[in-house]
Structure 1
Amino acid sequence: MAERRRPARHTRSRRSTRLPGSLTGRARKVPHDAVHHPLFARCYARFSVCADARGGIAAHRAELLAGLSGRVLEIGAGNGLNFAHYPPAVAEVVAVEPERSLRRLALEEARRADVPVDVVPGAAEALPVKSEAYDAVVLSLVLCSVRNVERALAEAKRVLRPGGELRFFEHGRDERRAMALLQRGLDRTVWPLLFGNCHTSRDPLAAIRAAGLELGAHRRLDIPGKGPRLPSSACVLGVARRPDGG
């Protein structure tokens, strides 16, 4: 018997999108395209699919999402490659993606997902959802490119219920001094321009702690695991929690 899959929903308008009240609790306008990197988006879409298939990224996505349940908000969903890895206990995923081209690809992935996925426009620094509405928030290779890491993590904390989990898989500052120096130089010059505002030297673990989230189990890893080391190779994967007291 074929599995029943709920179609993804997406609202459109010319300049802005008025999201459903079930997401916001009120009529709130958000920019329809908070980010616009069409050339990078096309390149990223192709590269990410290849990296999942040949570079082992798919296994890290599965580890990132294992054991999740309830309502989940994914920030910066990209082209939706996480959707296939959400476990059946997840009741709903709201996937926020600010870039139009990637959002269109995410919609296609949402239609194939085994859990209900809504793909909506919005920015990490101003999430179009209610406070304390989600059991988990997912950040997957997104903190490197947000405009304001502090505000993005404050928003992630806001929408988590007390005790809710932040699942993160991010690349960032390399522990090796020579590579760290190279990362800082690249971030001040060409890297953000070439790679959709990506920064290689941000410190996701320090930022998560500074946001008032309790860091849990996590591990460092290199991507790719073999071959030459890249400015974006140093990654961390793990979980943090919003304290029960808020």
Structure 2
Amino acid sequence: MKHRHPMFARYYARASLALERGVAAHRAALLNGLSGRVIEVGAGNGLNFRHYPDAVTEVVAVEPEPHLRSIAETSAGQGTVPVTIVDGLADHLPAADGSCDAAIACLVLCTVPDQDIALAEIRRVLRPGGELRFFEHVRAATSTRRVLQRTLDATIWPWFGGGCHCGRDTRTAIERAGFVIGRIERLTTADTRIPFPSTPQILGTAIRP
């Protein structure tokens, strides 16, 4: 399995900064109210780190791509909570069973090879009653756009986007993994400035029973 995407990583490191005008407020909403030990799956270049509230005692930030992980090391010093950057994969998280109070999936479940396996791992490392906070782009609402997303996913999009699939039904996958979704908000390009095909997005919270 390939975890190095050097060209995409360098593009994403620049493009993600440009998108922060529309995304930063949603990152803050994603993390608002968290406390305790948190695992962030696919931390990328660490743009979430400065938004973690002081009640968080530790963030274990998992990122398999070397270039993005290197940038995340620098970003870890810009927040107010302790962040440990680790090399790891969503389908084999470096954390013990029930060892985390919350898990963050932010623009990452589009890239994992198997959502069911990744979400089962997230469920494993969460304590009972722990939260999954998610901000993910998902399949479109209209049939025309869904067809276009499926076509892109079957051809050039995963290659172009470092393994990204733009048309996944992530809400259903979260529920299928045994999480109980509480708050959820559906966002569009008007809210996030993220263009199609990586829109719409869902932002919300789910509980591990």
The TM-score with structure 1 as length reference comes to 0.82
Q: Percent identity?
A: 53
Q: How far has the Cα of 1:187 moved from its partner?
A: 0.3
**In structure 2, how many angstroms separate the alpha carbons of the residues matched to 1:208 and 1:224?**
25
CA deviations on 1:164-206 (whole Å, 9 max, x unpaired) are: 0000000011111110110000000000011101001111100
Aligned residues: 209
Partner of 1:103: 69
- Structure 1 runs of 4+ with >6 Å offset: none
AA aligned to 1:128 is P
Q: How far has the Cα of 1:223 moved from its partner?
A: 2.8
**In structure 2, how many angstroms separate the alpha carbons of the residues matched to 1:111 and 1:228?**
27
**In structure 2, how many angstroms separate the alpha carbons of the residues matched to 1:66 and 1:184?**
33
Partner of 2:8: 40
Query: In angstroms, what is the RMSD of aligned CA positions?
Result: 1.5
* 1:80–1:110 CA contact under 8 A, matched in 2: yes
Partner of 1:21: none
Q: List alignment gaps of at least 5 residues for structure 1.
A: 1-32
Matches within 5 A, 1:46-125: 46-52=14-20, 54=21, 56-125=22-91
The TM-score with structure 2 as length reference comes to 0.97
Task: Tell me which moved more, 224-233 or 98-107.
Answer: 224-233
Q: List alignment gaps of at least 5 residues for structure 2.
A: none
The secondary structure found in structure 1 opposite 2:191 is coil
**In structure 2, how many angstroms separate the alpha carbons of the residues matched to 1:72 and 1:34?**
26
* 2:102–2:126 CA contact under 8 A, matched in 1: yes
Task: Tell me which moved more, 87-96 or 226-235.
Answer: 226-235
* Structure with the higher helix share, 1 or 2: 2
**In structure 1, how many angstroms separate the alpha carbons of the residues matched to 2:2 and 2:34?**
28
Change over 3 Å in CA distance of 1:79–1:229 after alignment to 2 = closer
